[in-house]
Amino acid sequence: MPGRARVGCSGWNYPDWRGVVYPAELARRTWFAWYADHFETVELNTTFYRLPTVRTVQQWASAAPAGFCYSMKLGQFGSHRKKLADPDGWLPNHVECLDALGPAAGPTLVQLPPHWKRNVGRLDEFLDAAPERYRWAVELRDPTWLDDEVYATLARRGAALCLHDLLANHPWVQTTDWTYLRFHGPQAQVHPYCGAYTGRRLWRVAERLETVLAGGGDVYAYFNNDQQGCAARDASWLADRLGRLRS
């Protein structure tokens, strides 16, 4: 069976999307419903800055239509302040939120801090504590982590290497049977979060993802070039190419 592609944006509640992505007359409280009519997934960056209450997460789950999933970013306390150390003390709080999402729970994005040098033992300790019933994607932000030992650790634990464009020459390495991608803008290393890729820059990525899907691997792809609504337009193009545009 072919894999399933879920393509969306890193958030949906951007004020400058009014009249650009969302119809100008659309009430802001209904933006998520509009978004979920068009995309099958969203990446929650807000969870990086503040852990939501279980009640809030349950409300997210209730708002999601059938088949929709949320990818949640791991809180900065665990990834940046603790640098993944002692996960038994803080990871259960994140897992409680995943449990509250129920069927709408997608992968967790674990973004490692920039300038934190490679520490394979710490990564392995964290992944050992991460429940196998959920999917975990790791975004490496320091070049020292781009290493075969790191890839082997991810593979052994069934975690995905997050493919992104904030690091120059980031390799396309699959460490598990599903793939997680983040797009930060066509000039992400100089001017992140802005600019449109358009199909001219995305078609090669699309071809690679079609190969992943044909081999039975699932795809999660998120656009974080939110300025001027570029993320929504690029996500629509890729979702349409992969056959996953809702309407």
Name the strand (E) or helix (H) holding 161. Answer: strand 160-164
- Paired with 133 in beta bridges are none
pLDDT at 42: 98
Domains and CATH numbers, the chain: 5-241 (3.20.20.410)
Distances (CA, A) of 61 to 95, 99, 112: 15, 10, 27
At 97-117, the pLDDT tens digits run: 999 999 999 999 999 999 999
Structure tokens at 190: 């100089």
Helix (H, G, I), strand (E, B) or coil at 16: helix
At 37-84, the pLDDT tens digits run: 999 999 999 999 999 999 999 999 999 999 999 999 999 999 999 999
**Ranges under pLDDT 50 in the chain:** 245-247
Taking the model in full, what pTM does it have? 0.96
Q: Is 84 exposed, middle or buried (0-12, 13-18, 19+ CB in 10 A)?
A: buried
Structure tokens at 144: 């020292």
Structure tokens at 122: 């710490």
